[in-house]
A and B are shown apart, each in its own frame.
Chain A
Amino acid sequence: AIRMTQSPSSLSASTGDRVTITCRASHPISSYLAWYQQKPGKAPKLLIYAASTLQSGVPSRFSGSGSGTEFTLTISRLQSEDFATYYCQQYYNYPPWTFGQGTKVEIK
């Protein structure tokens, strides 16, 4: 199975900050990577697929990049509603579909 590793595991930031989360795959996955946002007690929400394609309705301050084994999720100007946990997921080699361990974005 392809292992997905996110860094950092958590970060503290202020509203208006630029935030970057990294996701690394144990084997190349082309651009078959998705990013999800999860708030406490809620279901995950798809933000980005194909490494850089924004899901309909997702604010443009979210962006994704990368291919192969290294990927990033960037929030250009952090808003209060963006404080959440973010997961990457590969869908190149399945089963299993595998997720990163998550990155918790907290208020500084």
Chain B
Amino acid sequence: TQLLEQSPQFLSIQEGENLTVYCNSSSVFSSLQWYRQEPGEGPVLLVTVVTGGEVKKLKRLTFQFGDARKDSSLHITAAQPGDTGLYLCAGARSSYKLIFGSGTRLLVRP
């Protein structure tokens, strides 16, 4: 099973900094989702992007779907300690199957 490649794998930043997480594949997806998983919990859906080039904002988080629907990025502005967690992208290629990325573990230090 082809994984989505996420980069970076780990990120440790100071509160207030900006960051971008990337999710790349050589395959086209019908939609792409971003989840955040906090320690001891399951992943929780943040956003779904469907259209190539689509940009969605969720407060300080900006999600973009690539024009060719093969890649996506998550940008966080002025990161806060509450943003700490594992960020997972997941691409949809059929009605039921999601292919998950390897994850980016973010630590925001106060």
Q: Do A and B bind each other?
A: no
**B contacts, CB < 8 Å to A:** none
**A contacts, CB < 8 Å to B:** none
